[in-house]
């Protein structure tokens, strides 16, 4: 989880310069949605308590290491990005875990991971981009919209590995949906 946060904090500073999307998208949009997959897998396989521990540990280490890179001589990550990322990560990931947990017994297997990811991604996007870039020259509203669009697409794509991993890991552990 910490590596996802760190990579995303660094990559969000670089526009996606392909297909003329540099004003709409950053590279961070492609790495961060993996955090929702990790949260949903942890929740499905180990329950809400374990998932919250994963989130808290990822939060602490992600912020500490990002903070180091923001104040070090390299100044690789801006302090506003660290604050925005930490705030958005903690709130959105805990929200994701709670929504998933409420929906965990839904008869359609894809509803809990998809809805929890979409709702928490919306909150994450608003919090992160408004804290990290509000009042700057960065076109943060269009970047936020592009970021959220990618998160929706990746949330749909992540359903395949989610299903396969839950099935395979659940068989290994002898439990499909422990709480």
pLDDT of residue 74: 56
Alpha-carbon distance of 62 to 3, in angstroms, equals 7
What single DSSP character describes residue 96? H
pLDDT of residue 77: 61
pLDDT confidence bin for 178, thresholds 50/70/90:
very low
Q: Over 70: is that where the pLDDT of 73 sits?
A: no
- Of 151, 5, 170, the C-alpha closest to 87 is 5
pLDDT: which is higher, 20 or 158: 158
pLDDT: which is higher, 30 or 91: 91
**Encoded tokens for 174:** 């002898």
pLDDT of residue 175: 45
Burial class from Cβ neighbours inside 10 Å (0-12, 13-18, 19+) for residue 73 reads exposed
What single DSSP character describes residue 78? -
| Mean pLDDT confidence for 97-122 | 94
Q: Over 70: is that where the pLDDT of 96 sits?
A: yes
| Mean pLDDT confidence for 63-84 | 75
**Encoded tokens for 149:** 């669009």
Domains in the chain: ranges and CATH? 2-173 (1.10.1760)
Alpha-carbon distance of 99 to 112, in angstroms, equals 7
pLDDT of residue 68: 80
pLDDT of residue 53: 95
Phi-psi region of 136 (alpha: psi -120 to 50; beta: other; left: phi over 0): beta
pLDDT of residue 66: 78
Query: Could you read off the pLDDT of 136-171 as tens digits, one per residue?
Result: 888 889 989 998 999 999 999 989 988 888 888 764
The strand pairing partners of 26, in sequence order, are 15
Q: Scanning the structure block, which residue is given the tokens 């590279």?
A: 27
pLDDT confidence bin for 76, thresholds 50/70/90:
low
- In angstroms, the Cα distances linking 81 to 23, 76, 98, 152, 174 are 18, 11, 25, 22, 41
| Mean pLDDT confidence for 88-97 | 95
Alpha-carbon distance of 18 to 88, in angstroms, equals 27
Q: Within 10 A of 137 (CB to CB), how many other CB atoms are there? A: 6
pLDDT: which is higher, 80 or 112: 112
């Amino acid at each position: 989880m910490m590596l996802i946060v760190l990579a995303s904090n660094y990559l969000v500073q670089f526009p996606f310069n392909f297909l003329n999307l540099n004003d709409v998208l950053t590279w961070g949009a492609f790495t961060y949605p993996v955090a929702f997959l990790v949260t949903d897998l942890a929740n499905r396989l180990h329950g809400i308590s374990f998932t919250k521990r994963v989130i808290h540990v990822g939060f602490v280490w992600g912020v500490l290491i990002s903070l180091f890179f923001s104040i070090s001589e390299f100044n690789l990550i801006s302090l506003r990005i660290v604050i925005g990322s930490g705030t958005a990560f903690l709130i959105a990931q805990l929200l994701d875990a709670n929504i998933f947990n409420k929906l965990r017994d839904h008869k359609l297997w894809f509803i809990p991971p998809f809805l929890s990811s979409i709702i928490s991604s919306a909150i994450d996007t608003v919090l992160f981009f408004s804290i990290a870039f509000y009042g700057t020259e960065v076109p943060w509203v269009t970047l936020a919209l592009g970021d959220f669009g990618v998160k929706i697409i990746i949330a749909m794509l992540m359903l395949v590995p989610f299903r396969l991993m839950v099935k395979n890991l659940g068989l290994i552990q002898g439990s499909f949906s422990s709480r």
